[in-house]
Amino acid sequence: MRTQVCIIGGGPSGLLLSQLLHRSGIDTVVLEARSRAYVAGRIRAGLLEWGSVETLRAAGVGARMDRDGIPDDGVVLASQHGDFRIDIKALTGKRMMIYGQTEITADLFSARDAMNGVIIDEVEGVRPHGLDTGAPHVTYSKGGTSYRIDCDWVIGCDGYHGVSRTCIPSDTLKTFERIYPFGWLGVLSETPPVSRKIVYANHPRGFALCSLRNEMLSRYYVQVPADDAVVGWSDDAFWDELRRRLPDSLSDGIVTGPSIEKSIAPLRSFVAEPMRWGRLCLAGDAAHIVPPTGAKGLNLAISDVSYLHDALVAHFGGDDAGIDGYSARALNRVWKAIRFSWWFTSTMHRFPDQNDFDQRIQDSELAYLEASAAAQTVLAEQYVGLPY
């Protein structure tokens, strides 16, 4: 098989890049290790920066998002002393969109199918070759048969554990990582959300987050030790702990119900440099991971895809400036998001070695944010998404 761009990874970033390139007249093949049903069913992010909203519209997959998504123009920060709202739209002129990753994935699958896009799922043994030449290829197997795809470029959208990043020589690849000593226990429930605004709560017992997917689907999180197991948390125990970590003005309004999904996500900050080597480019979690605090993961992947689309279109038109500068351009935005997510995580979470002094510093940080329009603007500009 021959294509211009072989994309390894059929999650949202791989599908979006395939969709954008197809609309620009560039052939792609997407390879995915999991089944389509598995990819479509993963519960992930739910908050889109405005740049992500505009990119999805440009890809022709924004109609259902615009109809069913919930525009969001502010965020609530809470502590044991109360809560306050930061008006993102008033401070930046932009807003966010609440629209779940599962819905985005469904929209992208539908769009690729409508355009006869080539998506090959349940593949095994994917391996790029010849990345340091002008004629790379990718091999894989499916159903016991081996296949080869010849291409001009290989794009790694295969996540943190994927094969793409491992193809960059060890004397070239440099990684940066911070592992946080806690995780997020998340619950999805078919209950009305406690607030139409996303709520981040700092508490001596640990962080909590209240978010939503729609008017009758709520997503809640509480900080737990990194080695906690889901089996140790009943629904009742989760709801009780969530209430403890919220101010009374919020906890009294929580509507509880059985969880339809419950999981624990570890938290880490991770960056791999460079994001391009030879004819390989990395995008999304293959190159960087951020803590979910601030909702930057999917949004960073979408900005990577936007940069790659522009660079590849220019490349096939005879201009290599964009593809040559892709890594530096993407990493500039990545590191700013890494810093913001680290700061927000450090401000809102309880660390194992934290003492009363540290708690007072966090309380003072939140009090300053509540009182300072300048501090709120700094947060708002990063939260709504830095320019592409």
Tens digit of pLDDT at every position of the chain (388 positions): 999 999 999 999 999 999 999 999 999 999 999 999 999 888 777 899 999 999 999 999 999 999 999 999 999 999 988 999 999 999 999 999 999 899 999 999 999 999 999 999 999 999 999 999 999 999 999 999 999 999 999 999 999 999 999 999 999 999 999 999 999 999 999 999 999 899 999 999 999 999 998 889 999 999 999 999 999 999 999 999 999 999 998 999 999 999 999 999 999 999 999 999 999 999 999 999 999 998 999 999 999 999 999 999 999 999 999 999 999 999 999 999 999 999 999 999 999 999 999 999 999 999 999 999 999 999 999 999 999 9
Walk across the sheet containing 208-214 and list its strands: 82-87, 74-79, 198-201, 208-214, 217-225, 174-189, 259-273, 288-289
25 in the same domain as 117: yes
134 in the same domain as 39: yes
Q: What is the dihedral of CA 51, 55, 61, 64, to 10 degrees?
A: 10
What's the whole-model pTM score?
A: 0.95
Domain that holds residue 193: 181-267+349-383
Residue 79 domain-assigned (yes or no): no
Cα–Cα dist 122/143, whole Å:
9
202 in the same domain as 189: yes
194 in the same domain as 56: no
Please name every residue paired with 201 in a beta bridge, in sequence order, or none if there are none: 78, 208
114 in the same domain as 60: yes
Domain termination site, one of 343, 358, 373 = 343
Give the count of domains, the chain. Answer: 2
